[in-house]
Amino acid sequence: MTHHSHYAVTASDVIAAFQRCGIDHVTTVPDMLQIALHDALEREPGIRQINCTTEDQAIEVASGLWAGGARVAVLVQNQGFYAGINSLRALGLDSKIPLLFMIGQFGREWSNLGQDPRQSSRRMVRMLEPLLELLDIPYWRLEGPGDASHIDTAWRASRERSGPAALLVGHFIGFDAVESAS
């Protein structure tokens, strides 16, 4: 049996990448797949997490923060990303705001881990990549410990293209091992 951690990027790896990119704000509608990251961000003094009530609001707040000079990432799940398409279109695509999305693949089957998400039996999982391609939004998969470097790549891509780029979180962000107190 394969351990699920083979398909996870840890919260500390994500935060380290955010720090390298200079990300100082995260807007989010907290989701289950990224709960370890949300938890870690609560304790990270250099990155302010702003919880929103809808994905539209997360995109709009991120865009306003960007206009004010902040460096922002948007954390949502796939269903919420679909719900925020109009704000994404207006702000990320039409207004050319460089938004970095981390999109949790909610509903992905355990049996699909390590496989092509387009082969998922769940529509919300299998249609995400084709939708991003249709919208001309580059994306990278976060599907294992070695994929954290994709965060830096996606960040640069969003800046270079003046538009959105996406990271697809294929499995739960991993909690970091807790060290015992001495």
The predicted-structure confidence for 29-56, as pLDDT tens digits, reads as follows 988 889 999 999 999 999 999 999 999 9
Tell me the mean pLDDT in the region 127-132: 98
Average pLDDT for the chain: 92
The residue extents of the domains of the chain are 4-169
Confidence class for position 4, pLDDT limits 50, 70, 90:
low
pLDDT at residue 182 tops 60: no
Where is pLDDT greater, at 5 or 155?
155
How far, in Å, CA of 41 to CA of 141, rounded?
21
pLDDT at residue 2 tops 90: no
pLDDT at residue 179 tops 50: no
Percent of the chain scoring above 90 in pLDDT: 81
pLDDT in the model for residue 181: 41
Say yes or no: domain 4-169 is CATH 3.40.50.970. Answer: yes
User: What string of H, E and C letters represents the secondary structure of the chain?
Assistant: CCCHHHHCCEHHHHHHHHHHHCCCEEEECCCHHHHHHHHHHHCCCCCEEEECCCHHHHHHHHHHHHHCCCCEEEEEEHHHHHHCHHHHHHHHHHCCCCCEEEEECCCCCHHHCCCCHHHCCCHHHHCHHHHHHHCCCCEEEECCHHHHHHHHHHHHHHHHHCCCEEEEECCCCECCCCCCCC
Give the β-pairing of 165-169 and 25-28: unpaired
pLDDT at residue 69 tops 50: yes
pLDDT at residue 63 tops 50: yes
